[in-house]
Structure 1
Amino acid sequence: MNSTLPSLLAEQGLVILDGALATELESRGADLKDPLWSARLLIERPELIREVHLDYFRAGADVATTASYQASFEGFARRGIGFDEAAALMRLSVQLAAEARDAFWAEPANRVGRHRPLVAASVGPYGAMLADGSEYRGYPGVTRAQLAAFHRPRLEVLAASGADLLACETLPGLDEALAIASLLPALALPAWISFSCRDGEHVSQGERFADCVAALDGLPGVAAVGLNCTAPQHVPALVAAAQARTRLPIVVYPNSGEQWDGVAKCWHGVRDAEDFAAQALRWQRGGARLIGGCCRTGPGEIRALRAAVLAAG
């Protein structure tokens, strides 16, 4: 029997997500200096995407998040790619993750102590299409109706692609979350919604994270709510705020803790998989039920997280 997010949560208590896709692809030699970012490899090196998904499953991930974050009809159109081909590339992102999942699950040893993993189709924010970093600032001049019109066609393609759920991620503000939530009932596929946060209290656009979480509580199709692409030191306060305002499972997948230097175009700081896993256990004790990593986390962090969860019982 295939797994679902509710069944995994019921049986395991904690669902382990994967880590970063783009920065992991870069670490394997991929050139992502392109507005399409990791979606560029759907065209040029799809086999590398499949390989990373498989490595995350082997490391212990219960969910693969697809390479569709930056995949939008508008973004592909700027590269001369028409609607039908763009839709096919979006479906390919799900196919690659599903192929990796099926290859992992075909090995009997991988089934010991595990449930069949899920595939979450990544839905990046409007700001990802702009490719100017505005998913970390917001775009208050864009209306909720405009945001819904932007997201609808891609959501329809991804919802019909064979994914198990949608990962609507790195949203900077509430209007975009509500625009997406308004579309979910027609899609018949559950979604988690996660915000980028600038500190321990506010999402990137400035609203209080607790208010954003509360506004999504109980909306049809919203299966979990939380944060991603956020500094890990902010996570405990954000999880506590969410716990007080929602009955939904809380999803958490922050960055590694390193800092991006936009001038030098490099990361600074220390990356420590064991420390990341130790922090993740604290987030779990605080109430998070889906935990993984975002930028600069990789299979090492996910492997350490799964080992820590098993050791903690």
Structure 2
Amino acid sequence: MTRASGPLAEALGRGAVLLDGGLSNQLAAQGCDLSGDLWTARVLAERPEQVAAAHSAYARAGARVLTTAAYQVGYEAFAARGFDRAATTGLLRRSVRLAARVADAAPHPVWVAASVGPYGAVLADGSEYRGRYGLSVRRLADFHRPRIEALLAEGPDVLALETVPDPDEAEALLLVLAETGAAAWLGYTVADGRTRSGAPLDEAFALAARSPQVVAVGVNCCDPAQVLPALEAAASVTAKPLLAYPNDGSVWDAATATWHPPAAPSPPWPLADWYRAGARLLGGCCRVTPADIARLGGRLPPAGPGAASGPRLGAAGK
């Protein structure tokens, strides 16, 4: 039993790597209360053992990457909810430690990805599915910088810059990433062949193509039907490994804080097509369960040998 010791980027050069699925749905299945604006961060603060249990469920399902519970943790919003700066920093760092503890005990090599959700996620009003917050790139970078610094202090293997709706926010995240020297993947949330803010996909993906620290780029938390066109758009502007971890096709209703399920069950995802398009990080997002991840893992092309060899990838300077 050992934590993955080789850089995730090296493993992506050898084949597909299986991600985990939705943290919120697994916590709900474990009986956790996700009501209120804090969402999964409420469980992170009040019942951290349940977060570890959720990570363990995905590790048992075969996930090779565990994504932390930091998605919705941010300093300004949490200050309004009674968390001082030290407490918020503690939550961010705790999220990495919990995932790392499970990764260390897993029966197969597992990487830890520190989740960096978009500005809209911290607002808890669904605006990550709209973007265009009216903030400058500099202001967005100032928002994300302390979150990223706190996460990197615990030495995750990679940052998951995820559910990004807007190229402006991606630019801000990549600006902070360049300051740290850390590695990351970048996932946009998309709809109708564009980012959620309406930007062309080729322009959005080109930002990541220019960053040497981005180990993979693609889409997450979108309808599975949106994945293949988005991967093809990404492949047209970058040779980087691609990523795909959609939700189950449901639509989030921010007004009622509920998911509206798809009109018809989603067919089995075309993983072979996604893989041929360049996807090497494959998994699920909201409403994708450990059982779903186990089934996905059974259909992935096998990675090449030596996925756990080589120097460990950690925070900047390590």
The answer, yes or no, to whether TM exceeds 0.5 is yes
Post-superposition offset of 1:260: 4.2
Gaps of 5+ in 1: 105-109
Corresponding position of 2:127: 134
1:29 to 13, 26, 31: 31
Q: Which amino acid aligns with 1:309?
A: L
| Distance change >3 Å, CA 270–CA 8, structure 1 → 2 | farther
Is residue 2:299 matched to residue 1:299? Answer: no
Query: Cα gap change, 1:266/1:69 in structure 2, threshold over 3 Å: closer, same or farther?
Result: closer
Which residue, out of 210, 225, 231, partners 1:218?
A: 210
| Partner SS state of residue 195, structure 2 | coil
- Alpha-carbon distance in structure 1 between the residues aligned to 2:119 and 2:251: 24
Q: Alignment partner of 1:153: what SS?
A: helix
Closer, same or farther: CA 298–50 of 1 in aligned 2, 3 Å:
same
Among 227, 243, 254, the residue aligned to 2:246: 254
CA offset at residue 196 of structure 1? 0.9
- Counterpart position of 1:107: none
Cα deviation code 1:136-189 (max 9, x no counterpart): 111252110110010011111111212111001111110110111011122121
Contact 1:35 1:75 in 2 (8 A): no
Q: Indicate the residue corresponding to 2:158 in structure 1.
A: 165
Alignment partners' CA distance in 2, 1:60 and 1:272:
24
Shift of 1:271: 8.6
Aligned pairs (5 A) from 1:115-134:
116-134=109-127
Post-superposition offset of 1:33: 1.3
> Residue 311 of structure 2 corresponds to which residue in structure 1?
none
Alignment match, 2:168? 175
How much does 1:221 deviate?
1.8
Residues 10-51 of structure 1 show CA distances to partners (whole Å, capped at 9, x for unaligned) of: 33x111111000122112211111211101111111111101
How far apart are the structure 2 equivalents of 1:260 and 1:71? 19
Instruction: Name 1:4's counterpart in structure 2.
Output: 7
- Structure 2: give runs of 5+ residues left out of the alignment: 305-318
Number of equivalenced pairs: 300
Does the 8 Å CA contact 1:261/1:268 hold for their aligned counterparts? Answer: no
Distance in 1 between the 2:252 and 2:162 partners?
19
Matched, 1:78 2:65: no
2:212 is the alignment partner of 1:209: no
RCO (CA 8 Å, sep 6+): is it higher in 1 or 2?
Answer: 2
- Identity of matched residues, %: 43
Once the two structures are superposed, what CA deviation does each residue of 1:208-247 show, in whole Å capped at 9, x if it has no partner? Answer: 1111001221313222111111000111111111111111
Give, in whole Å, the separation in 2 of the partners of 1:262 and 1:250: 29
Partner SS, residue 308 of structure 1: coil
| Separation in structure 2 between the aligned mates of residue 206 and residue 28 of structure 1, nearest angstrom | 36
Q: What's the Cα RMSD here?
A: 2.1
122-131 vs 185-194, which deviates more? Answer: 185-194
Give CA-to-partner distance per residue, 1:69-123, whole Å, 9 cap, x none: 001111221221111111111100001101111111xxxxx34xxxx21000000
- Paired AA for residue 110 in structure 2: P
Which is richer in helix?
1
- Measure, in 2, the Cα distance between the counterparts of 1:142 and 1:262: 21
In 2, Cα distance between the equivalents of 1:279 and 1:77? Answer: 43
- 4+ residue runs over 6 A deviation: 270-273
1:285 counterpart residue number = 276
Contact (CA 8 Å) 2:218, 2:234: kept in 1 or not? Answer: yes
Letter in 2 for 1:80: G
**CA–CA distance in 2 between the matches of 1:160 and 1:263?**
36
CA contact (8 A) 2:244 2:279 kept: yes
Aligned amino acid, residue 303 of structure 1: A
Secondary structure in structure 1 of the residue aligned to 2:142? helix
**Amino acid in the other structure paired with 2:162:** E
Aligned pair partner of 2:95 in 93, 96, 101: 93
